[in-house]
Amino acid sequence: MSPTSGQPSRASSGASPDDDVAAHDHEVISRGTTRRRYVQRGVIVLILIVAALALAYMRSGSAVVVTQAVVTGILTGGVYGLVAMGLTLIFGVLDIVNFAHGAFLALALFVTFWLVNTVGIHPYVALAITIPVMFGIGFMVQRGVLARAIGKPLENQLLITLGISLVIENTLLLFFGGDPRSVALHGDHALHVFGAVADLSRVLAFAGALLLAGVLYLLLQRTRLGTAIRAVATNDMGAQLVGIDTRLIYALTFAIGTACAGAAGTLVAPLVTIEPTSGDMFNIIAFVVVVLGGMGNVIGALVGGLIIGVTEQLSGLYLPGQSPLLLVFIVFVLVLFLRPQGLFGRTS
Amino acid sequence: MSTGTRETQKLTKALPPQMWNRHLVAIAVLTLILIPAPFVLPAAQQAVAVRVLIFALMSIGWNVMSGFGGMFSFGHAAYFGLGAYTSAWLLVNHDVSPWIGMLAGMVVAAAFAVLVGFLSLRYRLKGAYFALATFAFAEMLRLWATNSDFVNRAVGYHAPLRPDASWWYLQFDPGSANYFFAALALTVAALACSVFFLRSRAGQFTLAIRDDQDAASALGIPVMRYKLFAMALSAAITSVAGAFYVQYYLFIDPELAFGSGVSIQAILPAVIGGVGTIWGPVIGACVLGPLSDVTATILRNPPAALSFLQGRAGLDVIVYGVLLIVIVLLLPRGIYPALRKRWSRK
């Protein structure tokens, strides 16, 4: 298939045929192998999925249980994907391993809790407030704190985000106390989805996460801002040379990433117990998802989120009595060792 | 491998022999000054002093791997926890002395560090990936401990109380000065250990590898072997802190042993005091250890403006967080190098 695609341009180029042919052959070969590699990888992933499901079926002996686990996993995974998209965007553009991402999510949980219980707003309407609020907080945190550490070693930036997360979580603890809270969703009921049972709130969280993920994708691909963000991610010096205000892009990217965490926080508010440390688990899972999807790869983060969501649910069947996170970490370590560039990343 | 600590390296690089002796003399003098401390300090302050020493011990360990070795660990809770759990398990189930438990914990922690290190180096993890891998292993231990009957699940262990005080079982009356002496001895031993490590061939090779791995490798230094050695030593020192923690607080559970907060506690003193310096972790621990008591005192009798915070928790960690951010931004090398610079300028 590949040699024919190189044919027309080979004929059209006249000046230095030898060089050009050589260059083209190289390109064609690499294009062919990439395609083959994608097919190979797709087949491997498919085999792994089938094997995982078969094993789950063998362990549980019930198709209903496996279906339930997969549906719950995918629904939860959508939210993980949204959290991880924010994290991976921040990593891709600012090169920061952001340990404060989960704390921002926890902050959004408490803002939602406050809006619902004190102001009396519907949990999903709260999105209209939490997203801009978290965007603003993210912008200010980047401008006020992180911008001063740009160009510093990775560890310094990691430690700063760690400090930010300590400050946020413990400020929440200071003001709200450690008692678990919850947001009630009126009219929440169980739905039947593909032969499994899922709460309406979980389905809505999934739908909302997918919708926002789509919006983020369009923002990155179709707008001037998105193009600028991708340009800075690829080469910040080059972006600066063509007149992009990279400092502004850094702040906006961090703000968008934080808004993702905020949106996810509001979406899951009816599903989780709200505590100052509620975001930690999301932060950990988002790291796993980001590495799985390839650091900086937004679509990879969404797919990785779904994979980790399902993994977490299936682990209850594989390793009964163990925490579902244990298998998530095992997958994480395996990916770190075997495919550190992520499932969809290119070997460089 | 990492450029993170490159700036702090000038301090430890190629010190003349008498400088090493100066460090050892400083350790000895400090020990002598601190020995009468329990007879001067009130009981409450003694508890703070012991906490400072535990912080210092953890961080001296972290500093060997991450400061001198340049491999940023975000999972030292694994080694702290293994030290704590090994000694607690041996003590509770087999009535083994904590001193022997401590040695066993060092061996277990060092072995685990070599395993983690070998895998991470074998697969060439660097920077953020390396830090995340160490974090993942600590979290895996926490999750395993929380759900395993072998180590009492989430309940953890209570050290059994003995009728009489005993050095062999490292248990004394509450508030006894002996706890302070034991912690001081262990911390001094760890400090001396890090000085001896640095002046040894292994230590010099480790620094060389940190500064330029390719050059070190080209000179024939077996990179993998010395990195693993630094990791094992680091894990062993931090595990001692875990074993002592169990004896002092008489209690350990998965969150206290393997929680990510523990990893942070191992990092903070060194970062605040000065990464990759001998005295950094000690100075950092002296700053951080008393903080929670200071904030607790403020919150017990808050000034009028803060009266609504009475009885709330969290302020101490907020101060840690702010301090961490401020230090990293303003004194990225830490307090000790900043002080040294000021002294040497005069």
- Is A343 a member of any domain? no
**How many Cα atoms sit within 13 Å of B54 on the Cβ side?**
24
Question: What is the set of domains in chain B, with CATH numbers?
Answer: 15-260 (1.10.3470)
C-alpha angle B210-B129-A311 in degrees, rounded to nearest 5: 155
> Residue A134 and residue A106: Cα distance in Å, rounded?
11
More confident of the two residues B14 and A260: A260
Residues A79 and A114 in one domain: yes
The mean per-residue pLDDT over the stretch A141-153 comes to: 86
Interchain contact, B315 vs A330, CB within 8 Å: no
A326 contacts in chain B (CB < 8 Å) = 140, 143-144, 147
Domain boundary among A61, A90, A107: A61
Interchain contact, A170 vs B139, CB within 8 Å: no
Query: Domain range holding A6?
Result: 1-61
Residues A143 and A165 in one domain: yes
**How near does any CA of chain B get to the CA of A303, in Å?**
20
The mean per-residue pLDDT over the stretch A4-18 comes to: 39
> Residue B317 and residue B192: Cα distance in Å, rounded?
30
| Residues paired with B252 in a beta bridge | B157
For chain B, the residue count is 346
Residues A235 and A291 in one domain: yes
With an 8 Å Cβ cutoff, is A121 touching chain B?
Answer: no
Residues A223 and A169 in one domain: yes
With an 8 Å Cβ cutoff, is A334 touching chain B?
Answer: no
> Residue A146 and residue A173: Cα distance in Å, rounded?
24
How many cross-chain Cβ pairs, A to B, lie less than 8 Å apart?
Answer: 133
Q: How many domains does chain A have?
A: 2
- Is A345 a member of any domain? no
Residues A11 and A137 in one domain: no
> Residue B299 and residue B313: Cα distance in Å, rounded?
9
Q: Which residue of A has its CA nearest to B138?
A: A329
**How near does any CA of chain B get to the CA of A131, in Å?**
25
C-alpha angle A94-A98-A99 in degrees, rounded to nearest 5: 170
Nearest to B247 by CA among B17, B54, B109: B54
With an 8 Å Cβ cutoff, is A149 touching chain B?
Answer: yes
Residue B108: per-residue pLDDT: 97
| Residues paired with A198 in a beta bridge | A191
| Residues paired with A191 in a beta bridge | A198
Query: Residue A193: enclosing H or E segment and its boundaries?
Result: strand A190-193
The mean per-residue pLDDT over the stretch A184-209 comes to: 83
Residues A88 and A54 in one domain: no
Tokens describing residue A246? 């990279």
Domain boundary among A44, A61, A78: A61
With an 8 Å Cβ cutoff, is B261 touching chain A?
Answer: no
- Is A221 a member of any domain? yes
What's the CA dihedral at A309, A315, A316, A317 to 10 degrees?
A: 120
Full-model pTM: 0.85
C-alpha angle B117-B118-B124 in degrees, rounded to nearest 5: 85
Residues A41 and A73 in one domain: no
**How many Cα atoms sit within 13 Å of A95 on the Cβ side?**
15
Q: Which of residues 62-91 of B touch A (CB under 8 A)?
A: 72, 74
Are A262 and A105 within 8 A, CB to CB?
yes
C-alpha angle B114-B116-B121 in degrees, rounded to nearest 5: 90
Tokens describing residue B16? 């003349």
pLDDT digits (tens, 9 = 90+) for A313-344: 888 888 877 788 888 898 889 888 888 777 77
Residue of B6, B74, B132, B265 for testing the chain A interface, max A β-carbons within 10 Å: B132
Q: Which residue of A has its CA nearest to B141?
A: A326
Interchain contact, A166 vs B321, CB within 8 Å: yes
> Residue B138 and residue B124: Cα distance in Å, rounded?
19
Are A91 and A295 within 8 A, CB to CB?
yes
> Residue A80 and residue A35: Cα distance in Å, rounded?
29
Is the confidence at residue A147, as pLDDT, over 50? yes
> Residue B17 and residue B15: Cα distance in Å, rounded?
6
Phi (first) and psi of residue A274, to 5 degrees: -95, 110
Residue of A159, A168, A284 for testing the chain B interface, max B β-carbons within 10 Å: A159
With an 8 Å Cβ cutoff, is A159 touching chain B?
Answer: yes
For chain A, the residue count is 348
pLDDT digits (tens, 9 = 90+) for A214-232: 999 999 999 999 999 999 9
**How near does any CA of chain B get to the CA of A84, in Å?**
15
Tokens describing residue A23? 């260059």
Query: Residue B334: enclosing H or E segment and its boundaries?
Result: none
Nearest to A48 by CA among A320, A329, A331, A333: A331
Among A155, A163, A284, select the one facing B139 at the smallest CB separation: A284
Are B240 and B62 within 8 A, CB to CB?
no
| Residues paired with B157 in a beta bridge | B252
**How near does any CA of chain A get to the CA of B177, in Å?**
33
> Residue A301 and residue A177: Cα distance in Å, rounded?
33
Tokens describing residue B121? 């180096």
> Residue A88 and residue A93: Cα distance in Å, rounded?
9
Q: Which of residues 136-155 of B touch A (CB under 8 A)?
A: 136-137, 139-140, 143-144, 146-147
* Residues in contact with B140: Cβ distance below 8 Å, sequence separation at least 6, in sequence order: A326, A329, A330, A333
**How many Cα atoms sit within 13 Å of B262 on the Cβ side?**
32
H/E/C letters for each residue in B170-221?
CECCCCCHHHHHHHHHHHHHHHHHHHHHHHCHHHHHHHHHHHCHHHHHHCCC
Domain boundary among A22, A38, A61: A61
Interchain contact, B147 vs A149, CB within 8 Å: no
Residue B308: per-residue pLDDT: 67
With an 8 Å Cβ cutoff, is B111 touching chain A?
Answer: no
Q: How far is CA B346 from CA A17, A133, A142, B294, B335, in A?
A: 70, 49, 37, 33, 17
With an 8 Å Cβ cutoff, is B115 touching chain A?
Answer: no
C-alpha angle B157-B162-B166 in degrees, rounded to nearest 5: 110
Are A274 and A149 within 8 A, CB to CB?
no
| Amino acid identity for residue B339 in this structure | L
Among A156, A174, A284, select the one facing B312 at the smallest CB separation: A174
Query: Residue B10: enclosing H or E segment and its boundaries?
Result: none
C-alpha angle A225-A99-B73 in degrees, rounded to nearest 5: 130
Among B123, B139, B313, select the one facing A173 at the smallest CB separation: B313
Residues A315 and A220 in one domain: yes
Residues A7 and A75 in one domain: no
C-alpha angle B104-B117-A103 in degrees, rounded to nearest 5: 95
Residues A149 and A121 in one domain: yes
**How near does any CA of chain A get to the CA of B322, in Å?**
6
Residue of A166, A283, A291, A312 for testing the chain B interface, max B β-carbons within 10 Å: A166
Residues A169 and A205 in one domain: yes
Tokens describing residue A108? 């959004």
**How near does any CA of chain A get to the CA of B41, in Å?**
31
- Number of Cβ within 10 Å of residue A30's Cβ equals 12
Tokens describing residue A37? 């590699």
* Residues in contact with A132: Cβ distance below 8 Å, sequence separation at least 6, in sequence order: A259
| Exposed e or buried b per residue across B270-298, where buried means at least 16 C-beta atoms within 10 angstroms of its C-beta | bbbbbbbbbbbbbbbbbbbbbbbeebeee
- Is A346 a member of any domain? no
Interchain contact, A170 vs B318, CB within 8 Å: yes
pLDDT tens for chain B, residues 1 to 346 = 444 444 444 444 555 566 778 888 888 898 888 888 888 888 778 889 999 999 999 999 999 999 999 999 999 999 999 999 999 999 999 989 999 999 999 999 999 999 999 999 888 888 788 988 999 999 999 999 998 888 888 888 888 888 777 888 888 887 788 899 999 999 999 999 999 999 898 999 999 999 999 999 999 899 999 999 999 999 999 999 999 999 999 999 999 999 988 998 999 899 889 998 999 999 999 988 888 778 777 777 767 666 666 667 778 788 888 988 998 888 888 888 888 888 876 5
> Residue A307 and residue A76: Cα distance in Å, rounded?
10
Residue of B308, B328, B330, B333 for testing the chain A interface, max A β-carbons within 10 Å: B328
With an 8 Å Cβ cutoff, is A153 touching chain B?
Answer: yes
- Is A11 a member of any domain? yes
> What sign does the CA torsion over A160, A161, A162, A166 have?
positive
Residues A286 and A263 in one domain: yes
What is the distance of C-alpha B126 from the center of its chain? 22
- Number of Cβ within 10 Å of residue A244's Cβ equals 18
Q: Which burial class, exposed, middle or buried, applies to B154 when counting CB atoms under 10 A from its CB (0-12, 13-18, 19+)?
A: exposed
> What sign does the CA torsion over B324, B326, B329, B335 have?
negative
Query: Residue B100: enclosing H or E segment and its boundaries?
Result: helix B98-122
Are A262 and A131 within 8 A, CB to CB?
yes
Is the confidence at residue A124, as pLDDT, over 80? yes
Q: Which domain CATH number covers A121?
A: 1.10.3470
Tokens describing residue B32? 């002598």
Are B134 and B10 within 8 A, CB to CB?
no
